A and B are shown apart, each in its own frame.
Chain A
């Protein structure tokens, strides 16, 4: 029974079924979604940690893999992320109380001069759904804001996002200033115009072309 419910939650995440009212996906129309089922799972006394690791995370991993294999694209991924978001709202009090543990902290922002956030938001949702605490600094973020967030969250990994060829160059200075202020900080970068070569040039530690790649990187670091 517990396993069945967790499996259903996982499917809601995988297919982007937010709640009973949502018409998407068509094959799940009229069924309970991640919202109702997560609430039900908690009501039934299922451990919040299990809901996260056996319900949400497997679903999110499938989403990540499907996205990186180009089986789904941003719209579908957003639906899955929204489904996961509603589930996490139910779980958040349990993170705060320590009943469910998160694997680490990820601090993300779109770099100075850039206001694009869709990529950043997707990555943030995926990383959160993979069991990490995510601090989203928003857009147009300078080095100082990242450094403040790192000081408040020691050991956090930083994610820099940029969508423009003209703003990605700001990643170099931000990476440098973060590493000077807090040596040893891990900086990962992402965004449509960046690549592995650019990552190496600017002294960042990791480039992931898709959110699942970043989750894999974080999990490896955490292992």
Chain B
């Protein structure tokens, strides 16, 4: 089986010849090619070259094309800071008051330069790999998280207490439109999968009841958009998601990308028959700062726990720091390849 076949099979719950591996390694890939974040985010050809070199070096199955994680926010007008050697970031929102949404103009996110660069990078990779390596085009934030960026995280949390349902739903609808546009555009690149992150909607921040009311319904809309566009969908939520795993199933996502803080047994028991797990090795504590032996140990633990479900794709639980030692990443992949 090639990489594309392995991941496609895992998403369908079918047996694979080896444990499929997808990497969240855009920063590592850029660094290993001697490319700064400034160079990376401005050149789709360079983005593609970084991932191609990474696949050549590590021989994994699925590419996760990620750039900055605030591209969609920038496209809807949130001020973005672009460091030379770190991913771009936002600090404050672009909506000072919840009432300001009435002044928001209809958005066309395809007009944003960095959206186009991202789409072109995915297009190039898909053209290069065709059906040999699985290509996932990440699409930044799901609606709740995008609303959080537009208002600023602290303001948004207070809005959930002090805003009316009508106000909140109008902003969430606006963000759903933005997220949907990105998903549709990404699907048109020919990629195999799209994804969003919604970590501000997790239980580290809001209650399961609030997740059900203000996040899940909008995630579901995005999943539907992805499926209508003919692509698989992965929902990424960081932090301990133990108490909302069953709620997340309501979105209909094909895969969940979860980090090490969620109890793996609980993940296995809740989702193994319906939804694939992508993850969930600790990217910093184990892969970036651990020893080769600890990487092997943690990877074996995970593989052993999940060995009776075909719906599994090995990855770190979140983005790998650029400082991750190459030998650690090789060990994780080698352990997976030897396991099965």
Contact = CB atoms under 8 A, between A and B. Distances in A.
B153 A118 contact: yes
B153 A78 contact: no
Contacts of A181: none
A166 B321 contact: yes
A166 B27 contact: yes
Interface stretch (A32-40, A44-52, A67-75, A98-106): A67-75
Interface stretch (A5-13, A88-96, A145-153, A194-202): A194-202
A155 interface: no
Query: For chain B, which range describes its interface: under 10, 10 to 19, 20 to 34, or 35 or more residues?
Result: 35 or more
Contacts of A79: 158, 161
Contacts of B285: 194-195, 197-198, 201
Contact of B289 (A22, A73, A169, A192): A169
Contacts of A201: 285, 289
Contacts of A195: 261, 285
A193 B199 CA distance: 11
Contacts of B323: 169
Interface in B164-223: 199, 203-207, 210
A141 to B, nearest CB: 13
Given A79-B161, A118-B153, A166-B321, A73 B90 contact: no
Contact of B206 (A73, A82, A168): A73
A213 interface: no
Interface stretch (A109-117, A126-134, A214-222): A109-117
A30 interface: no
B284 A74 contact: no
B157 interface: yes
Interface in A4-36: 16, 22-24
Query: For chain A, which range describes its interface: under 10, 10 to 19, 20 to 34, or 35 or more residues?
Result: 35 or more
A192 B201 CA distance: 13
A165 B319 contact: yes
Interface stretch (B81-89, B104-112, B224-232): B81-89
Contacts of B86: 113, 166
A201 B87 CA distance: 25
B161 A24 contact: yes
Interface of B: 27, 81, 83, 86-87, 89-91, 153-154, 157-158, 160-162, 199, 203-207, 210, 238-239, 243, 259, 261, 283-285, 288-289, 316-323
Interface of A: 16, 22-24, 70, 72-76, 78-79, 82, 113-118, 121, 139, 164-166, 168-169, 172, 192-195, 197-198, 201-202
Given A75-B161, A166-B87, A193-B284, 16 more contacts: A73-B205, A73-B210, A74-B157, A74-B206, A76-B161, A78-B157, A113-B86, A115-B81, A115-B90, A117-B91, A139-B91, A165-B316, A166-B86, A166-B319, A169-B323, A201-B289
